[in-house]
Each structure stands twice: as structure tokens, then as C-alpha cells.
Amino acid sequence: MRIQVINPNTSDAMTHKIGLAAQAIARPGTQIIACSPEDGPVSIEGHFDEAIATLGVLEEVRKGREQQVDAHIIACFGDPGLLAAREYATAPVIGIAEAAFHMAALIATRFAVVTTLSRTRIIAEHLLQRYGFSELCTSVRCIDLPVLALEEGGPELIERMIDQARRARDEEGAGAIVLGCGGMADLPRQLSEAIGLPVVEGVSAAVKLAESLVDLGLTTSKHGDLADPIGKPFKGRFAYLSR
Amino acid sequence: MRIQVINPNTSDAMTHKIGLAAQAIARPGTQIIACSPEDGPVSIEGHFDEAIATLGVLEEVRKGREQQVDAHIIACFGDPGLLAAREYATAPVIGIAEAAFHMAALIATRFAVVTTLSRTRIIAEHLLQRYGFSELCTSVRCIDLPVLALEEGGPELIERMIDQARRARDEEGAGAIVLGCGGMADLPRQLSEAIGLPVVEGVSAAVKLAESLVDLGLTTSKHGDLADPIGKPFKGRFAYLSR
Amino acid sequence: MRIQVINPNTSDAMTHKIGLAAQAIARPGTQIIACSPEDGPVSIEGHFDEAIATLGVLEEVRKGREQQVDAHIIACFGDPGLLAAREYATAPVIGIAEAAFHMAALIATRFAVVTTLSRTRIIAEHLLQRYGFSELCTSVRCIDLPVLALEEGGPELIERMIDQARRARDEEGAGAIVLGCGGMADLPRQLSEAIGLPVVEGVSAAVKLAESLVDLGLTTSKHGDLADPIGKPFKGRFAYLSR
Amino acid sequence: MRIQVINPNTSDAMTHKIGLAAQAIARPGTQIIACSPEDGPVSIEGHFDEAIATLGVLEEVRKGREQQVDAHIIACFGDPGLLAAREYATAPVIGIAEAAFHMAALIATRFAVVTTLSRTRIIAEHLLQRYGFSELCTSVRCIDLPVLALEEGGPELIERMIDQARRARDEEGAGAIVLGCGGMADLPRQLSEAIGLPVVEGVSAAVKLAESLVDLGLTTSKHGDLADPIGKPFKGRFAYLSR
Amino acid sequence: MRIQVINPNTSDAMTHKIGLAAQAIARPGTQIIACSPEDGPVSIEGHFDEAIATLGVLEEVRKGREQQVDAHIIACFGDPGLLAAREYATAPVIGIAEAAFHMAALIATRFAVVTTLSRTRIIAEHLLQRYGFSELCTSVRCIDLPVLALEEGGPELIERMIDQARRARDEEGAGAIVLGCGGMADLPRQLSEAIGLPVVEGVSAAVKLAESLVDLGLTTSKHGDLADPIGKPFKGRFAYLSR
Amino acid sequence: MRIQVINPNTSDAMTHKIGLAAQAIARPGTQIIACSPEDGPVSIEGHFDEAIATLGVLEEVRKGREQQVDAHIIACFGDPGLLAAREYATAPVIGIAEAAFHMAALIATRFAVVTTLSRTRIIAEHLLQRYGFSELCTSVRCIDLPVLALEEGGPELIERMIDQARRARDEEGAGAIVLGCGGMADLPRQLSEAIGLPVVEGVSAAVKLAESLVDLGLTTSKHGDLADPIGKPFKGRFAYLSR
């Protein structure tokens, strides 16, 4: 089984980290193909970055489709381009935010999200609403460090995360923590030990869900809104998409 | 890995069928332990049956815990006793209704449920509400055949299911079908071919989610409402539960 | 009129207290039959306790049905076994949580719940959601004393309740307080005087609603999901339920 | 105990009918004071009628308050002026729509409303939303006969109601029917017998809830938004309301 | 174009202020007709005041209709009588609360409301729910100064508003502030400068929406629940409304 | 005042039609700058088309910003790139779907959407949910003609629209119709006359809302999630976006 893990931003260090996290959890026989777009922002910290990164995600999906991967993972917590990718791909597509929410819902009645910047909270809130998890999530909490600061790590990072997670646990009754950034893929154990709650990380969750769908022989419904894109002319630099 | 699959009713034929379905999808190395309570109803077709069956589920969870299974599955579409089992178990516990809903949400923007009796529709609707999937589910549709009639199969069964699934697809825009009964574990392929939609069956979905949680090292949050039951005296025939 | 008040736990002192509270509010001519199961936990402090206690509740409902009582009350704030009991009984069945919520909604636009343990908050939240009262309830607040500590009473108990109720009033705008435990049946007056809000206690509320339904000639709808349980074989120690 | 039943419209025949229905269900010792405003529309069939009728309701509440009644009932299905009346009264105030919804929720998991005109459906839907019952109500169905046509009765009236109720039962799974007009107070038995579902009528439901609140010593919370109106000058013909 | 701006209370100073605010924002060629009822409360600070004021609003709508104004604005934040006025008028009718909510939704993903008295918070919350904006509004915050204190202004007023708005911004992530009282029509600039957020004031927002509807040739749907009131007899002092 | 109207697809005929519709409703003194991307699909009929078109929208926003337009309108019913554009622009940005919903909510208590293809219904439903209008919209109805078929017009087009609108009116009680495609900008009058309901068209609605925001001095909140995009490197063909 081959699973393509797409880091939607263009930071190679993060792609590397995400790929390691994915491979570490993949079962023997599952090959992880970590990649990231050639074009786009080095980090995704808002709606604008996400919109631009979506183009790169779809390009990577196209490559993955040509390579006949068995599943695609979109490894940014906003699940950028998820529904477009489901139209475009033939194999199943999973976003790491949805993956983490689904897993958290299986182990706790209430969970909280700990993410990077306050300005991206709305992105998580919109996803929670669209996926149906608004009632299950006690809050989306932000450490207010930029995405790329996760690369540097350091004690301040984990301390801020512990602080937010602890408040979610003690003030809001959260029973599990969802990590709200693909760049946090190396942090769940440390956080879990510090606060005594299970911590769900989206990249690893998505790998397991991808394997599961493949095993089940389930893929995106091609009846209705997720059917292949309707063939039509595209103009300009997207002319190559015309069908 | 050993996964206990609990058929909450006391019909051995259904336990056998569920066990086969679980084993068929389990990956090599996963052992399925299919079981059912010694005490309880032969089928679960309402709140009352479900309440009685819950005791049997918890008894089986206790046995599974003693056998140190890696995960428990509750293989009745009402997920009877799910939260109680999560308190009582140390390993993760998954209900087949929630499992099917989660998987369906990954492959379609809208899905429908096809279940047995109209009188059990409310059970599915309450679960959809509690889990957060009300908006994603276009309707819970009933074929109005009793649970044990599934054993006999026959053309009428599958025809009724196809009829309901087709209406969900054409009238409501459902992109996937969730099978609403553990006793339908052998039907997804036939239904899927007939209507051209992916069909999600809960037992197999739950097996994959159980394997996933074990791989991820995630289990029920033991902080808060799902912590081990508070030790206390039980009276009468439940005295053995005292701690 | 004879109303059966079922204390779902097996604590005789609490059954006695609940019976007194019920009789005190019953109108002349209403006979209260307070009872509790022979088998089950001495207190209900989680999903597991509730699942076991449900069996006792249904046994008591059966006895009450044989005694041809006019209504049944389930006197634990989680309303354990409510829908199963409605199937099983011919007379109306009322849970004290729902009773208290309904009454509170008639006297305030927003109310808060003050209950015992934090770990049971989720039970109240699930009921509020299922019954439709989530928006009307500002919060479910916990004093974090075990259920049986209510028997001892003492100044700490009422002080903690006053503290939580006051915060609901001042910080959230709650106009009424719902007591979230059958064992608080003797506390409404004291709390109400301390905080200047009406305090709704579920046992007394349920008695009045039971009298009301009987007067109105209304009982559980026997068309659909609350119809009598479908007759079927039960195995093992539940064989006596076979029909 | 004295309960004031206010018919918000100025149709004496309807006031009489409502008064009879209220007295018939009131327990011995409860005196029903049926009344209607001197000023206002003869029927309430929209937002405008309701707005005008609200003044009359408040005038009647004032009279009832001076007579020191124990409770007020607003006997029009839109519950016109309910929150204003709760501010203005010292005794509890109950609307017949809310009363019927609360009672229906105790005997069925899903109910439908059968009311008069399509144009008033939105009024019922807004109330269902505000009170929290939107999910419990399968639909608000209209017979499209004007309110005063209820006075004439006749076979067409009941046939239309039976038709709508039957469709709610068979197509939507409604387990109980709520009558959506004060002028239907004499119809529940006939409808219930025809369709085999319990039928909840708001006037009688409100009488029992009023008696219940009085017995419980509960009245409108006077802390917060339902406290007595803030004293202030009123101008013109409302100058008499100045305080 | 002539737009009638109805101040629902009978305070001439507030009518004057509202009229000035409306005229200031109206485009050249739009004539503002500011008015207020002859009969009713000098301020609206609860459900009761609102119910009485609604009569005056409808009277003013009638006058405006006779003057053939092009649109009516109800300039009190509770939008009193809005749906009744829509039935009664032929031109479009806009409430200042809805106007402000709609505009705020166009410039921020989350907004907060800053209003006068805590007891009126529920009115705003009910409107947010009915209009669909509950999720977009982070909170309704109160400065707990009476409506008429707005006339006096003074540093305490604006300081309290700044304090509440700042907390909404910093603690809840509100991106815009809605002023929750018609009497605040002169305050948006000052508040906006102090906190660095856009501030939406309902009177001016309503004027622009009224102009917009007129330009678009859109007016209240006269099919269904907002059609002209059904002609019928009115009794007593409302006999003049009979048709 | 200069308003940029961006047709997100690359069909010049549609850009022309949209530009005409916008100019027709703009007030004297408002200049409409109709444009469309150089790169992208000729029509937008799904998530994939929308994702690609978003880049073109943002490119056009950039041009508009450089031209210092006073407002931007995104003239495709899925509001593609709306939040990204709000970050990226300094002037207000309005989508035609949100514009139409807001206007419809001012003239009817319930509205329906009539759009082109069934597969795009989910896009409208997601927007309704995110904006808060789910309860106000009775259904999203599809004529199942492709977007570009709107150019050809013909009797079948309008007949299908009339058929869907009539069913929304008669079966669901919709009081207004929202046209669900920018390419329908020339159809409202014809449809409105045929069915007797107000018909809201998004391009014209958006122009009036844009003028309104500019008049009010309101623009996108630049505090929080809609603040200017955080400066960062972009790679590859998006390097020009680096800051």
C-alpha cells in the first residue's frame, strides 16, 4: 500500500518531519510518499495562505494519482482543498484535522484543540462546524507561536502547549487534546505525559484512517458532488487542466 | 493484536456471521474473538431490548478485560452500553454505529442509513445527534423487516434495501449508505453494486478503527467522565461488582 | 392515584428521603409508592453505575405495572432507562431530570444545573441535548461531593451549592437553578433563600407532572418506538422476560 | 386556587369554549376565570393580530394580578406576550403552546403540530426554536381553515385534521399530535380515537402545569430579564402604566 | 426616496438623535422622516416595554404607509413588532438589530454586541437565534446603564463600552462590535478609535439597507406569513383596525 | 465610488452579463469595473473548479487593490476565496451568495435557493451553514442545467426555474427565491412575475451592500483572522507573493 502524504506548505523541514511521523506509524508494507508543492507559501497561517496552498495540494494529488497511490493525506490542519481533492482523486483523501477529530471522538466525550496562532482559530472552528464536531470540542486554544517556530521547538513551545491543554482539561472538562498543526507531529507523547490526557495527532491518525479505508475497499463516493470534475476548458496557465 | 467483537444479542447465528465479517477484514496478525452474552434477548429491536442487552455487553467487556484484549467492539447498531463500557474497560471500545458514521463521513459529504425496523430509527437519530452527525445524514431509512429476518436473507431483503438506498441517493443526494444493523455484515457488496454508492458496514469499520487506535497507542481517556467506575457497594445479584 | 417513585440506586436512606419529598408535594389522594431495586449500586455516579441501575429500574417498573400504578417516576438525575421504561410500562413514566428542566423552562429564560460530581456533567449535558434544552441551560455546575455525601449534609454541602448557584446567576445570567441529583430533594428551599432564585427539584416536579398526565388522560404513545417491546426469547437469567 | 385563563382574541364563543375546557380538566378546588380582552381582534391569524392582541393580554394580566389569581394562562397557540406577561405578573404565566410542547415531550420522542392556517406556521416554528423543541417536532401541519371556522366544526374540520395527523404519523413517525389552536380545545378525543395517537391540547395542559407550579411554590424568576418592569413614564393613552 | 425612521420609544431627544444619525448617512435625495409614537414608554428596557411600544410602532407604520414612504425602519435594538410591521406595511421594513447583524457579518467572522442593561440581553439573544447569527456572535455584553443614561453620555458611558468591547476582542476574538441600542447612534466612531475594531451601528446600517432594498425593487414577500393581515373585526378601541 | 466585480470564471460572456447587471443597479456615480481572471475554468461547477478559480479571484483582488477600488465583489454563488480575499484586500469584499442570503432574510421569513447543478448544492448548503442561514432556507433546488447553458437561455431554462421555485413556494412555504448562480443575473424579473414571489439576485444585492459599506465607512476588520496575510516567503511561481 502506498500513501501519499502531502505537506501543503513548501517548508522542506516540515515535510521531512511529517513524513517521518507518517512512516513511524504506518504498518509494515505501507509505503509513505511524503511530498510538498513546488509552488506556495512556506507556512499556512490564514485563509490567504490556505487558498494559495490549495493549488499546490491539487498538483500533488494529480501526481499521486498518476503514481496510482492508494490514498492521499492532506497534512495541514485546515484540511486545505479537501473536497476539491476528493473530486480530483480516485483514491480516498483524508485531511489531518478531520482525522484527528474522528479519532478524538472515539476516546473522549469532549476534546480540545491546541493550535498555533489565534488568527487560525476560525479555520478550525469552521471545520468543526462543517464536520459536525462543534459540540464535542470544548475550545480551540492557541499558543500564539508561528507555524515555523515549531521547527525550533524549545521549552517555551511545549510549555505553552501544556498550559493551554491543562486549562482545557481543568476548566472545560476536555478528556483529550487534538494537536492543531501538522508541524506538531513530534509532540504528542511529551504533551500526553505532562497532562495525563490522550493526545491525538492528525498525521498519524490520517495514516491509520487511510489504511483502514483501503482495507475496507472504500473510496470517495463518485456519485454526486464528489464525482470527477466536469470536463471543460481552462484558460491561461491552467489550460493544461482542460478536458 | 486481539480484538473482542461483542454481539450484544444472544443469537449465535448472528454472532457467527459478525465474527466472520470481522475476521475477513482484520489484518494478518489480528485475532478476532467473537462472543455474545449468556443472558439477554435474541435480538435488539428497541430501547428495552437494548437496556437488557447492555448488562450482557458489560459482562463480556469484563471477560475481555480479563483476557487482556487490545480492543472491544460492540456490534449492535445502537451502540448499547458504549460509554459504560468505556468506563469499565482499559482498552479502547468502539461501537459499530459510530464506526460506520465516522467512515462514511470520510468518503461522502452526505450519507443515509438503511436499517431494519421503523421503531429503531429514533435510536439511530439520537446517536447521530450525540455524535454530531445529524447534519451529514440525510435520513434513517427502514426496511421494516425484523432483525432476525436478516438471517434468512432472500431476495425481498436485498430488494427492500436497494429500494431505500436508491431513494436516499436520488431524492436526498446521499453519496454513501450506512448499514444500520450488525446482522447486515454480509450485505455491503451486493448493495453497493446495485446502487453504485459506497456502502459502509459497521463491524468491518469498527475492526479497522480498533486496529488504528491500538497502533496509535490511543485508548479511552481516563481523566473525567470515562475514568474507571468509582468503587462502591453493589447489592443483590450485582454484589460481585462491589469494589 | 398511585405514583411509583423509583430510586434507581439501592441506598435505602435516599429512597426514604425521596419518598418523603414526593409525598410532601403530592396532592391529597395521591399515594406515593417509593421503592428501589434489590440489585444494583448504592449510588449512581457515572455511565457504568447507570447501566447496571437501569436493570433495577425496569424490574421496579414491572412490579409497578403489576400493581397497576398510575405513573412511574425515575428518581435519578440521569433519567436512567427512561425510554426503555416507557416501552415497558403502560402508565406514563417521567424522569426527574426532564421534569426539572421542563418546569425550569416555564419560570426562567435561562437556568443552570447544580449537580454532584464533575464526571456526571456529561450525562446531564447529553440529556439537555436530547431533550432540546441545551440553549436554555447556561451551564451544568458541579460541587464535587459524592452522591452519598448528600446524606450527611452539613454546611459544606450547602455552601458549595450556594457558591455554584451564585456564579451561575451573576456570571451567566441564570434565572433559576435546577438541582441535579435525586438526593438533593430536601435542599431547594435553603438554596432558594440564599440566592434569591427559584430552585427546581426534580422529584417534586416529576410528581406534579405525573399527576398532570394522569389527569389529562395522556400516557406514552404506543405507536412507534415506544410501543410495547416486541415479544421474543430471552436467554439465561433473563429467560423470564421471554414472550 | 384560582387560575386566570386569558383568551387573547375577542371572540366570546371561543372564550366560553376555552373556559369550559379549562374547567373540565381543573381539579376540584381550582377555579377557572376565563376572560378575554375588551379591545382587539376576534381571531389571531398572524403577527399583526398577535401584536395587537398582546396589549389585551397584558391588560387582562393586570386585572388578574389585582384579583390575586394564582396563575395566568395565555390561551392562544402563539403564546402572545408571554415574556412580557411574565415580567408584569407576580404569579406564574403559562402559554398553551409551550404547555402542549412540554407535555408532548413527556409521552413521545417525536410529535407533530396540527394547526389552522399555513400563514401561522412560522409562529409555531419560531416558538419551537426558542423553547428548544425544533428537533422533537417532525412538522407543523396546517388544515387551512380560519380560526373561527373551528367554531362551526363540521365533518370537514375533523377530517382535515385526521388527514394531517395521519400523514405526520405514517410519513414522519410522529408519536403524538399537538393541537395548534386554542379553539381546538374540544377536539382531542375525537382525533385521538381516529388516529390512535395521544393528542395534546394546550389549554388543558396549561391548566395542569399552572396547578403544578402553584403546588411547587414556583413562580417566575424575578431576578434578571423577567423581573418586574422598570418603572418609568409612559405617554399618551398608556400614561396609566407610568410608575 | 423617503425613509421613515421610527423610534419606538417616546423620548423626543432620542428620536432627534436617531433622526440626525439617519440623515447623516442617507444619500443625497433620501429624505429621513424621524418619528416616534404618541403613546408608549419613554424607553424600552424589557419585554413589557417592548410589547407596549409595538403598538406605537404599528401606528407609525400605518402613518408612514399613508404617506407612502419607501421604507420603514424600526429603531430599537429589539426590533419590536418587526414581523407584524412587515405584514402591515407595503414598503420594506428593517429593524436596526437585524441591520447591524447583517452588516457585521460582512466584515468579520465573529462579532460581539455591546448593549445597555443585562436584563435586555435575552432579547438580543433571541433575535440572534431567530435570525441565524448565534454562532457568529461571541457574546452580548452589557454596560448596565439605563437607556436614557445614553442621553447624558459622559466619560463613564464610553469607558464602560470600551471596556466591554475590549474584552470581547481580546478574550473572545470578536472582530467587530455591534452597538446594541438605538440611543448609541452617535458613538461608533469614538468606540472604534479606542479599540481598533469596526463598530456597526444599527440606525445607519438600516438606512443603507433600506435604500438598497428600494433600489433593488425588493419588498416584503406578500405570499405567505407576511401577506397583508387577514381582514376581520377588531373590538373596542381597536375597532378602527377592522376590515 | 468604484466597485470591482470579479467574475471568478473565465467566460467573457458571463463577465459581460454580470457587469451589465451590476452597472444597471449601481447608483449614479458608482463605477463598476467588471473583470475576470486570465487563468482558470470557464465555469465553476464543483469544489475543484472553485479551488482553481480562487487563485484568479485573488489575482483580481490584487489588481483591484492596486487600482484602489472601494469594494470588491466575488460574483460566483459559491463565494470562492471570500475569506482569503478579505485578508488580502483593504477595501470590503462581498460574495454574491452571502449578499443574496442577507437580502432575502430582510424580506421573507423563509427563502429557497434555485441553482444550476445538483452537484453544487452542497456548496450552497455549506455556505448557508457557515453564514447562519440554514434554518431560514427551506431547500437548495437545482435545475440541472450546466452553468454555461444559462447563456443560451431559452424557454426550458426559465421553465425549470419556475417549476422549482413554485414547488419551494407551495410545498415548503418559501416566501422568496434566491438565484443561485452569477449567470442568472438577468432572470429575476421574469421569474418573479411568474411565481409572485420576490426574487433576489446576488450580483445586484452585492452591489448595493458594497455601496452601503462604503457609505458607512465600514471595511473588513483587520484585527484577528482577517488581518493582512502574515508576510512570508512563497516559492516557485508564487514567489512574487513573498513579503
**Are chains B and E in contact at 3+ CB pairs closer than 8 Å?**
no
What pLDDT is stored for residue A140 in this prediction? 97
Decide which of 1.10.760.10, 3.30.450.20, 3.40.50.12500, 3.40.950.10 is the CATH code for E97-202.
Answer: 3.40.50.12500
**Domain E97-202 in the same topology as domain E2-95+204-241:** yes
- Chain F residues with CB-CB distance to A122 below 8 A: 224-225
Distance separating alpha carbons of residues C224 and D198, to the nearest angstrom: 12
Residue B66's nearest CA partner among B95, B22, B33 is B33
Residue E120 DSSP one-character state: G
CB C134 within 8 A of CB C114: no
CB A34 within 8 A of CB A55: no
Burial class of residue D48 in the structure, from the number of CB atoms within 10 Å of its CB (0-12 exposed, 13-18 middle, 19+ buried): buried
- Give yes or no for C200 touching D (CB within 8 A): yes
Q: How many CB atoms lie within 10 A of CB A65?
A: 16
Distance separating alpha carbons of residues B213 and A212, to the nearest angstrom: 11
SS3 content of chain A, % helix, strand, coil (to 5): 50, 15, 35
- Give yes or no for B95 touching A (CB within 8 A): no
Query: F7 phi and psi, to 5 degrees?
Result: -85, 115
Q: Among C188-192, E87-91, E145-149, F194-198, which is the least confidently predicted range?
A: E145-149
* D120 pLDDT more than 90: yes
Q: Which residues are CB-neighbours of E211 under 8 A, at least 6 positions away?
A: E1, E3, E26, E27, E30, E71, F208, F212
**Minimal-distance CA residue of chain A relative to E173:** A118
8 Å CB contact of E98 and F92: no
Burial class of residue A195 in the structure, from the number of CB atoms within 10 Å of its CB (0-12 exposed, 13-18 middle, 19+ buried): buried
- Quick one: angle between helices F121-131 and A121-131, nearest 10? 120
Q: What percent of chain A has pLDDT over 70?
A: 100
What pLDDT is stored for residue A206 in this prediction? 98
pLDDT along chain B (243 residues), means of 10: 98 95 95 98 97 98 98 98 98 98 98 95 98 98 87 85 97 97 88 97 98 98 96 97 94
**Are chains E and A in contact at 3+ CB pairs closer than 8 Å?**
yes
C-alpha dist (Å) from residue B2 to B26, B214, E116: 10, 10, 62
- Give yes or no for C130 touching A (CB within 8 A): no
Q: Which amino acid is at D8?
A: P
Distance separating alpha carbons of residues A95 and A98, to the nearest angstrom: 6
What pLDDT is stored for residue E71 in this prediction? 98
Q: Write down the CATH number for the domain with range D2-95+204-241.
A: 3.40.50.12500
- Give yes or no for C132 touching D (CB within 8 A): yes
8 Å CB contact of C109 and E118: no
pLDDT band, residue F185 (cuts 50/70/90): confident
- Give yes or no for C196 touching D (CB within 8 A): yes
* C151 pLDDT more than 80: no
CB C100 within 8 A of CB C181: no
* D67 pLDDT more than 80: yes
Decide which of D99 and F187 is more confident: D99
- Give yes or no for F218 touching E (CB within 8 A): yes
8 Å CB contact of F131 and E131: no
**Minimal-distance CA residue of chain D relative to F135:** D129
Q: In this complex, which chains have at least 3 CB pairs below 8 Å with chain B?
A: A, C, D, F
- Give yes or no for D46 touching C (CB within 8 A): no
Closest approach of A42 to chain E, Cα-based (Å): 25
**Are chains F and B in contact at 3+ CB pairs closer than 8 Å?**
yes
* C13 pLDDT more than 90: yes
8 Å CB contact of F173 and D122: yes
Q: pLDDT, tens digit, for every residue of A210-223?
A: 999 999 999 999 99
DSSP string, B41-70: ESS--SHHHHHHHHHHHHHHHHHHHHTT-S
SS3 D174: coil
Distance separating alpha carbons of residues D97 and D9, to the nearest angstrom: 15
Q: What percent of chain E has pLDDT over 70?
A: 100
Q: Where are the domains of chain A?
A: 2-95+204-241, 97-202
Distance separating alpha carbons of residues D198 and D169, to the nearest angstrom: 11
- Chain F residues with CB-CB distance to B173 below 8 A: 118, 121-122
Q: pLDDT, tens digit, for every residue of D8-30?
A: 999 999 999 999 999 999 999 99
Q: In this complex, which chains have at least 3 CB pairs below 8 Å with chain A?
A: B, C, E, F
CB F119 within 8 A of CB F45: yes
Q: What is the pLDDT along chain A (243 residues), one digit of tens a residue?
A: 999 999 999 999 999 999 999 999 999 999 999 999 999 999 999 999 999 999 999 999 999 999 999 999 999 999 999 999 999 999 999 999 999 999 999 999 999 999 999 999 999 999 999 999 999 999 999 999 887 888 777 788 999 999 999 999 999 999 999 999 888 888 899 999 999 999 999 999 999 999 999 999 999 999 999 999 999 999 999 999 998
Residue with C-alpha cell 480516485? A90
- Give yes or no for E60 touching F (CB within 8 A): no
Burial class of residue E149 in the structure, from the number of CB atoms within 10 Å of its CB (0-12 exposed, 13-18 middle, 19+ buried): middle
Q: What is the mean pLDDT of residues D70-78?
A: 97
What pLDDT is stored for residue E152 in this prediction? 78
Residue F96's nearest CA partner among F111, F108, F110, F113 is F113
Decide which of B61 and E148 is more confident: B61
Average pLDDT, chain F: 96
Closest approach of F151 to chain E, Cα-based (Å): 23
Q: For D9, what's the count of Cα atoms within 13 Å in the CB-facing half-sphere?
A: 28
**Minimal-distance CA residue of chain E relative to C108:** E122
**Minimal-distance CA residue of chain C relative to B82:** C47
What pLDDT is stored for residue C152 in this prediction? 78
What pLDDT is stored for residue F86 in this prediction? 98
D–F: how many Cβ contacts below 8 A? 6
End-to-end CA distance of chain A: 30
Q: Which residues are CB-neighbours of B233 under 8 A, at least 6 positions away?
A: B239, B242, C41, C42
- Give yes or no for F101 touching E (CB within 8 A): no
Q: How many CB atoms lie within 10 A of CB E204?
A: 27
Instruction: Choose, out of C86, C87, C107, C110, the residue to mutate when testing the contact with D (most D CBs < 10 Å).
Output: C107
What pLDDT is stored for residue C155 in this prediction? 86
In our burial notation (b when 16+ CB lie closer than 10 A, e otherwise), range F211-228 reads bbbbbbebbbbbbbbbee
Burial class of residue E186 in the structure, from the number of CB atoms within 10 Å of its CB (0-12 exposed, 13-18 middle, 19+ buried): middle
8 Å CB contact of B84 and C47: yes
Distance separating alpha carbons of residues F50 and F72, to the nearest angstrom: 18
Q: In this complex, which chains have at least 3 CB pairs below 8 Å with chain E?
A: A, C, D, F
A–F: how many Cβ contacts below 8 A? 154
Distance separating alpha carbons of residues D202 and D180, to the nearest angstrom: 8
Of A212, A224, A225, the CB nearest to B209: A212
Separation of CA A122 from chain center: 16
Q: Which residues are CB-neighbours of F217 under 8 A, at least 6 positions away?
A: none
Residue C1's nearest CA partner among C35, C33, C29, C34 is C29
pLDDT band, residue C149 (cuts 50/70/90): confident
Q: What is the mean pLDDT of residues C131-141?
A: 98
Q: Which residues are CB-neighbours of E242 under 8 A, at least 6 positions away?
A: E231, E232, E233, E234
pLDDT band, residue E183 (cuts 50/70/90): confident
In this prediction the ipTM stands at 0.97
C-alpha cell at E44: 424600552
In our burial notation (b when 16+ CB lie closer than 10 A, e otherwise), range C115-151 reads bbbbbbbbbbbbbbbbbbbeebbbbbbbbebebbbbe
8 Å CB contact of E129 and C110: no
8 Å CB contact of B41 and C122: no
